[in-house]
Amino acid sequence: MHIDKIKINNFKNYISTEVKFSNKINFLFGKNGAGKTNLLDAIHYLSYGKSAINNFDSDNILIKKTFFKIEGDYSNNLSYKCTFEQPNIKKIYENNDKYSKVKDHIGKIPLVFVNPYDINLIRNYSSERRRFFDQLFSQIDKNYLDSLLTYNRLIKQRNTYLKSLSTIESIDINHLKVYDEKLIKLNYYIHNFRKEKVKKFGKKFISVSSELNKSKDNFSILYSSNFNEDMSHQVFEKYLEKDFYTKKTNIGIHNDDYLFNMNNKLIKRIGSQGQQKTFIISLKLSEFYLLKEKLLISPIILLDDIFHKLDDRKINVLVNYLLKEEFSQIFISDSIEDRLNEIKKIIKKIKIINIDKGKTYEE
């Protein structure tokens, strides 16, 4: 799978632009703030119907404009279009046919995006890591996506009920059981799905990281949950008092975490910036392999400012790794000219796209 062409209107710092891409390696070059990340984010938006950087669609609209539009032509002979108009009207099209639900688009254009904000997967709370794996698993299994959406809706409703209670004596046990009996089944399914998939994902991750790391340090990913297969809906009764006082549901897969380790210790505590960057790159490339295996489509890879924090040896290892035949279309962004010149010596077939103040120029 690759994107042949993109058209952008009023998206971030792009007024109107059209860019044609190589089906192999594209190098976006320009100063910081020129619009390299914004172009990559536009490509990401076509895949997922949302920005990888901004949480609110309105933040992606060019200043003083009221809408943005992104269009892309792909190698599967299909075109996709995403539009957003203020105050909150989002539409996604496949060949001018609008999706009734955004979730129906997920998995159509598999894509892996590595960007500087990914370091938060290591440093921030468990919700960041759950979001990463949930997005990955939702692309490869629609039942997982539907189950997760139902679970999140039930948890929100249960928590809303808990917040409405003024005294613990006012709890309606039968009312909660309606939620709990549904939640226990969803907990079983999602917990077992995550446990199985992370185990398989972890094996590929170890293989990828060992090739990129080239050291004695061992990277690993462990799945952690306060839910287990022996629990029944009665476990919610055990935690009912705590749920009441905290005004939230304390048992369940919504509390899960994925432990990112180096040498059996959390990498965020002992890893250098370079080691953490290598961990993230290995994580995202493992995502590529899982998507390719399950969807039978080679995902597009976006590598934003990928070489920052890496020494020359690790950069050389990474660039040569990306030359493997199994990769399809790759986008790399950077702002250092000397580095671009060195990479051009290694990668013979590469398309350079210069970017300056939201405008693109092809070499």
Q: Do 141 and 278 sit in the same domain of this protein?
A: yes
Cβ contact 21:329 at 8 Å: yes
Structural domain contains residue 205: yes
Q: Do 84 and 33 sit in the same domain of this protein?
A: yes
CA distance 157 to 153: 6
pLDDT averaged per 10 residues, the chain (length 363): 96 96 95 95 95 93 95 94 93 93 87 95 96 94 95 97 94 93 95 96 95 89 92 86 95 96 96 93 96 93 92 90 89 93 89 94 84
Q: What is the pLDDT of residue 310?
A: 87
Q: Do 101 and 135 sit in the same domain of this protein?
A: no
Number of domains in the chain: 2
Structural domain contains residue 11: yes
Concatenated DSSP letters of 180-230: HHHHHHHHHHHHHHHHHHHHHHHHHHHHHHHHHH-SS--EEEEEE-S--TT
**How many Cβ atoms from other residues are within 10 Å of residue 261's Cβ?**
18
Domain final residue pick, 296, 320, 342: 296
CA distance 363 to 356: 13
Q: Do 159 and 291 sit in the same domain of this protein?
A: yes
Sign of the Cα pseudo-torsion (42, 46, 47, 49, in order): positive
Q: Do 165 and 153 sit in the same domain of this protein?
A: yes
Structural domain contains residue 117: no
Query: What CATH number is given to the structural domain containing 317?
Result: 3.40.50.300
Q: Do 140 and 196 sit in the same domain of this protein?
A: yes
Q: Do 189 and 57 sit in the same domain of this protein?
A: no
Q: Do 20 and 58 sit in the same domain of this protein?
A: yes
Query: Alpha-carbon dihedral of residues 313, 315, 317, 323, nearest 10 degrees?
Result: -150
CA distance 293 to 299: 10
Structural domain contains residue 169: yes
Q: CB neighbours of 201 closer than 8 A, spacing ≥ 6?
A: 221, 286, 290
Contacts for 321-327: CB closer than 8 Å, 24+ residues apart: 321/211, 321/212, 321/285, 322/25, 323/347, 326/292, 326/298, 327/288, 327/298, 327/301
Structural domain contains residue 185: yes
The secondary structure element, H or E, covering residue 317 is helix 312-322
Cβ contact 308:301 at 8 Å: no
If we measure between CA atoms, which residue out of 92, 97, 84, 72 comes closest to residue 10? Answer: 84
The CA-based angle 64-17-336, given to 5 degrees, is: 100
Q: Do 308 and 264 sit in the same domain of this protein?
A: no
Structural domain contains residue 283: yes
Structural domain contains residue 307: yes
Q: Do 89 and 230 sit in the same domain of this protein?
A: no
Q: For residue 116, is the peptide bond before it cis, meaning its omega torsion is within 30 degrees of 0?
A: no
Q: What is the pLDDT of residue 230?
A: 83
Range of the domain at 4: 1-110+297-363
Domain final residue pick, 296, 318, 337: 296
Q: Do 305 and 289 sit in the same domain of this protein?
A: no
Query: What CATH number is given to the structural domain containing 200?
Result: 1.20.1050.90
CB-facing half-sphere around the CA of 179: CA atoms within 13 A: 23
Q: Do 260 and 207 sit in the same domain of this protein?
A: yes
Structural domain contains residue 61: yes
Q: What is the pLDDT of residue 9?
A: 97
Domain final residue pick, 244, 272, 296: 296
